[in-house]
């Protein structure tokens, strides 16, 4: 089934993103964790694709196992730069043969160690090219998801960190072209200012983007990782978040507890606005994602098969 169908219903739905681990043991651990998380009925799970096809074989193996052995509706990410079209079609043919209908169509970042992405000869330059190609070659077999950027894409954000109205509107207009070319659903880049996300949804609706827009939520797990990720994505960090993190930054447990508190509050506000979908960037970890969903009343504690150390009343951030 295509994942956009569940996103259009009346029920609140949630989904989990994973990435391909580096070792065989890591893969087995991931599947154990995924089995436990899938017991909570996510509407889908997705697996990332290493830029330039660096994880192609592993991503394909994992997504097949997710769909057909874990039995969860699965989506494969697929980037289209630094890669020949044959490799893209091989990936699409493989998942089609295995009954997987969902793809997150992306441009991709430059592969590790390079600072620019490359359009290979005869290949694609942006996600829009991939969406067009998929619709031309595979008709409506695939449910196509694309990435949306509530603060504009980091490439077009100037050095001062603030996208002008014109830059932001151009970015939205380009997103609309991806949807008009056949994308069915948008998942957003991470954000920490919920108002920015809600404004983005409203602005998308104003220009006629009507498909579901799913907020990408990344629980803060670790202070340095948070700074690295938000720096890379040029994400705005509200002052109160920095103020809350500063005194606890060296206490990993306290940072995690705060991340759960913040994630819960962000999701509450999003759900209160009428949006019924949540996408959790798990970074292959289960605790924060499940704790947030439990705080929201979306999953039952009795179904969590592990002890819950993160629910100890550690400090003021406990929800
Ligand atoms: P595009 O949609 O092609 O464009 C990115 C930006 O470039 C646009 O927002 C726009 O500002 C500008 N642009 C491009 N073309 C045009 C045009 N014709 N006219 C005007 N402006 C244009 N990366 C991975 O390598 N693997 C993954 O699995 C992965 N998963 C991701 C999942 C999500 C939900 C998100 C948000 C990102 C993910 N990324 C992943 C990162 C992504 O590859 C990068 O953000 C990349 O730099 C852009 O990809 P895109 O598909 O958004 O690009």
Look at residue 319 in the predicted model and tell me its pLDDT.
33
Active-site residue, from 1, 5, 17, 151: 17
The pTM of the full predicted model, rounded to 2 decimals, is: 0.94
The answer, yes or no, to whether any atom of ligand 1 lies below 6 A from the CB of 55, is: no
φ, ψ dihedrals at 119, nearest 5°: -90, 115
Look at residue 82 in the predicted model and tell me its pLDDT.
87
Q: Which atom of ligand 1 lies closest to the CA of 156?
A: 11
ipTM of the prediction: 0.98
> 84 CA distance to ligand 1 centroid (A)?
18
Look at residue 272 in the predicted model and tell me its pLDDT.
98
Q: Contact at 8 Å (CB) between 100 and 131?
A: no
Look at residue 265 in the predicted model and tell me its pLDDT.
98
Look at residue 120 in the predicted model and tell me its pLDDT.
80
Look at residue 52 in the predicted model and tell me its pLDDT.
87
The answer, yes or no, to whether any atom of ligand 1 lies below 6 A from the CB of 295, is: no
**Cα–Cα dist 183/134, whole Å:** 10
Look at residue 121 in the predicted model and tell me its pLDDT.
79
The answer, yes or no, to whether any atom of ligand 1 lies below 6 A from the CB of 174, is: yes
Look at residue 312 in the predicted model and tell me its pLDDT.
35
The three-state DSSP-derived secondary structure of the chain is CCHHHHHCCCCCEEEEEECCCCCHHHHHHHHHHHHHHHCCCCCEEEECCCHHHCCHHHHHHHHHHHHHHHCCCEEEEEECCCCCHHHHHHHHHHHHHCCCCEEEEECCCCCCCCCCCCCCCCCCCCHHHHHHHHHHHHCCCCEEEEEECCCCCHHHCCCCCCCCHHHHHHHHHHHHHHHHCCCCEEEECCCCCHHHHHHHHHHHHHCCCCCCEECEECCCCCHHHHHHHHHHHCCCCCHHHHHHHHHHCCCHHHHHHHHHHHHHHHHHHHHHCCCCEEEEECCCCCHHHHHHHHHCCCCCHHHCCCCCHHHCCCCCCCC
Task: List the beta bridge partners of residue 76.
Answer: 47, 103
> 312 CA distance to ligand 1 centroid (A)?
39
Q: Does residue 17 carry a catalytic annotation? A: yes
The answer, yes or no, to whether any atom of ligand 1 lies below 6 A from the CB of 106, is: yes
> 3 CA distance to ligand 1 centroid (A)?
20
Q: Contact at 8 Å (CB) between 15 and 72?
A: no
**Predicted confidence pLDDT, tens digits, the chain (319 residues):** 899 999 999 999 999 999 999 999 999 999 999 999 999 999 999 999 998 899 999 999 999 999 999 999 999 999 999 889 999 999 999 999 999 999 999 999 877 777 777 778 778 999 999 999 999 999 999 999 999 999 999 999 998 888 999 999 999 999 999 999 999 999 999 999 999 999 999 999 999 999 999 999 999 999 999 999 999 999 999 999 999 999 999 999 999 999 999 999 999 999 999 999 999 999 999 999 999 999 999 998 776 665 443 333 333 333 3
Look at residue 117 in the predicted model and tell me its pLDDT.
73
């Amino acid at each position: 089934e295509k994942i956009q169908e569940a996103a259009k219903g009346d029920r609140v739905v949630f989904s989990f993103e994973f990435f391909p681990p580096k070792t065989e043991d890591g893969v087995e651990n991931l599947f154990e964790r995924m089995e436990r998380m899938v017991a909570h009925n996510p509407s889908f799970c997705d697996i990332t694709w290493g830029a330039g096809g660096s994880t192609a074989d592993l991503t394909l193996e994992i997504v097949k196992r997710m769909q057909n052995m874990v039995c969860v509706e699965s989506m494969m990410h697929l980037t289209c730069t630094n890669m020949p079209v044959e490799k893209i079609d091989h990936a699409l043919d493989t998942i089609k043969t295995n009954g997987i209908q969902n793809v997150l169509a992306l441009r991709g970042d430059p592969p590790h160690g390079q600072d620019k992405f490359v359009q290979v000869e005869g290949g694609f330059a942006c996600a829009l090219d991939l969406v067009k190609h998929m619709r031309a070659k595979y008709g409506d077999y695939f449910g196509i998801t694309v990435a949306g950027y509530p603060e504009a894409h980091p490439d077009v954000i100037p050095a001062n960190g603030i996208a002008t109205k014109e830059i932001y509107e151009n970015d939205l207009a380009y997103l609309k072209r991806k949807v008009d070319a056949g994308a069915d659903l948008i998942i957003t880049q991470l954000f920490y200012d919920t108002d920015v996300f809600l404004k983005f949804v409203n602005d998308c609706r104003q220009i006629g983007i009507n498909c579901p827009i799913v907020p990408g939520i990344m629980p803060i797990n670790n202070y340095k990782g948070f700074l690295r990720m938000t720096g890379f994505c040029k994400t705005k960090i509200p002052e109160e978040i920095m103020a809350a993190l500063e005194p606890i930054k060296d206490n990993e447990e306290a940072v995690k507890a705060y991340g759960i508190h913040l994630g819960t509050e962000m999701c509450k506000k999003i759900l209160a606005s009428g949006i019924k979908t949540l996408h959790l960037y798990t970074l292959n970890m289960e605790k924060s994602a499940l704790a947030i969903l439990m705080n929201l009343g979306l999953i039952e504690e009795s179904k969590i098969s592990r002890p819950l150390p993160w629910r100890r009343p550690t400090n003021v951030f406990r929800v």
